[in-house]
Structure 1
Amino acid sequence: MKVSEATLVSPSTLDECLLLLNDQKHSVQLLAGGTDAVVRMKEGVWNPDTWINIKNLDALRYIEEVNHEIHIGALTSHTDLVESKLINERADVLAQAAKEIGAIQLQNMGTIGGNIATASPAGDTIPALFVLDAKIELRSLTDTRLIPIREIFTGPGRTVKKSDEIITKIIIRSQDEDEIGIFEKLGPRKAQSISIVNVAISLKMGEKPRECLEGKIAFGSVAPTIIRATKCEYMLKLNPLFDDVIHDIASAAWKEVMPISDVRASAKYRRNMASSLLERGLYRLMKRWEEQ
């Protein structure tokens, strides 16, 4: 299929978009930032009768705090996240993840909703959304659903989103002053690279030195979908996070991940790097906590 043969429509409102999605006579595909569109077309994965260009639906591009939650419109760009004072202060792990997405051009064009809808196991913002307990709002012409992010993905490139639905909003919790987060990524190049392994960490700290009251860890690119490292999370609370404890927690991550070998890395290498990234992230978090 040539790009020139595709039909493209650009709705001016969300309601108009939902009407187009409700058309059961023709196959349609949403187009937001479009950073994956040509690739998916060449692969034959996306071959719709009509592309629905939603890039200009400004009603879906915002970041705001509501009752200790942060609401993010699905068309919010990665650059918007990187530059948002609210995200940097109250959800720093998401800002760090967005900054690691390719080059500036990709950050300007790509959207957080698109990153979720693409459902890549290597998607950089998704582990951050996992540790921030994100909920995803899906809307159709007749219904609105709010789904915890852990229930959104069913496999590589697959979600529970129905063909007549659009992701409209992402809701994350606003971190307290005693919470710190970090995103670590390993890619084949310094920039514009797909993650070989990535990890997002969020810790709620106590009053004692390096005391962790609760922690969340999510790995990407080490399983068919993003995974939470629940055993490592449990270990975070057992002892103060001094260097030997951090090393033990990172070593346990080797058994939590379930990577495959592909052209970018072997399964064994990914396991080792998952442990290394977790260890590095925890070291950096402890240093930052002690300095603030």
Structure 2
Amino acid sequence: MLVSEIDMITPSSLSECLTQLSKEGRKHRLIAGGTDAAVRMKEGKWRPDTWINIKNLKELRYIKESEDFIHIGPLTTHTDMIQSPLLQRKADVLVEAAREVGATQMQNMGTIGGNIATASPAGDTLPALYVLGAMLELTSLTNKRTIPIEEFITGPGRTVLKENEMITKILIKPQKPNGIGIFQKLGPRKAQSISIVNVAISLTMDNDRNCTEGKIAFGSVAPTIIRARKCESMLTLGLLNEELIQNIAKIAWKEVMPISDGRATATYRRDMASALLERGLYRLIRRWENQ
């Protein structure tokens, strides 16, 4: 497809964008940073009748806090998240994940809304959003609904988003004062690499090395991001010492459901999921003790 063949409109407001999405008879797709769109078009995919360029809708680019949630606009870039003092204090796992999204240019252009809507099992910010209990506000011209991110993504590249809807807000639960998180990724190269396996871990600790609550989410090991609930249930069994951490990592090997593809075999992914979780837990405990 030549650039001259692409039909693109640029709405000046959210209401104008929603009006365009509500029009029947044409297939629309939103574009913001374009980091995923460029790849998909080269692959012969994502060929809508009209692209709707929402990059300049400043009302959808923000990070702010309310009494119960942190609110993130879908056009917030990965760089915005990396540089946010609020996220650094209360959602460190998301900041770490954003740092792993390709090179600096991709972090500057790519948006959190785009990363979510693409619904790739390897999306780096997605495991972090899962452990932060993310809720997504989906808006059409006539309706608005809020659903958990785990219900939003139904398979590789598939979501429950309707043709006349768009993501207008991401809500995450801030980490508690005694909370701590980490994101671990294995890729073929240090930068600009698609994850072979990634994992996000969020723990709430007491004054010792006991975990009172923990969440773990893996990417690239199933058709969607998965919560490792068996591993999570073991986090609160006692002191997070070497023996318990190694036992949790062994359960991860059984809990993930990877496939073999051109980047890695299923067995290798299982091994790396276990290793990344073990390393991540060790690093979190050391970080907690050094606070």
SS of corresponding position for 2:108: helix
Match of 2:223 in 1: 224
Code of the aligned partner of 1:150:
E
- 1:10 and 2:7 matched: no
Match of 2:211 in 1: 212
SS of corresponding position for 1:195: coil
Match of 1:100 in 2: 100
Match of 1:138 in 2: 138
In 2, distance between residues paired with 1:99 and 1:40? 23
Match of 2:278 in 1: 279
Match of 2:88 in 1: 88
Match of 1:161 in 2: 161
Match of 1:61 in 2: 61
Q: State the Cα deviation string for residues 196-248 of structure 1 (Å, max 9, x = none).
A: 000000001113x2100110000000000000000000000111100111011
- TM-score after normalising by structure 1: 0.98
Structure 2 stretches lacking a partner, 5+ long = none
SS of corresponding position for 1:265: coil
Structure 1 stretches lacking a partner, 5+ long = none
SS of corresponding position for 1:20: helix
Q: CA deviation at 1:48?
A: 1.0
Note the 1:194-205 alignment, pairs <5 A: 194-205=194-205
In 1, distance between residues paired with 2:233 and 2:175? 20
Q: CA deviation at 1:43?
A: 2.4
Match of 1:119 in 2: 119
4+ runs deviating over 3 angstroms = none
In 2, distance between residues paired with 1:281 and 1:101? 18
- 1:238 and 2:237 matched: yes
In 1, distance between residues paired with 2:91 and 2:172? 8
- 1:290 and 2:281 matched: no
SS of corresponding position for 1:24: coil
SS of corresponding position for 1:36: helix
Indicate the RMSD between aligned Cα atoms, in angstroms: 0.7
Code of the aligned partner of 1:50:
T
Code of the aligned partner of 2:72:
I
Match of 1:188 in 2: 188
Q: CA deviation at 1:2?
A: 2.1
- Percent identity among equivalent residues? 67
In 2, distance between residues paired with 1:70 and 1:250? 31
Match of 2:269 in 1: 270
In 2, distance between residues paired with 1:32 and 1:160? 20
Code of the aligned partner of 2:191:
A
Q: CA deviation at 1:117?
A: 0.3
In 2, distance between residues paired with 1:92 and 1:39? 29
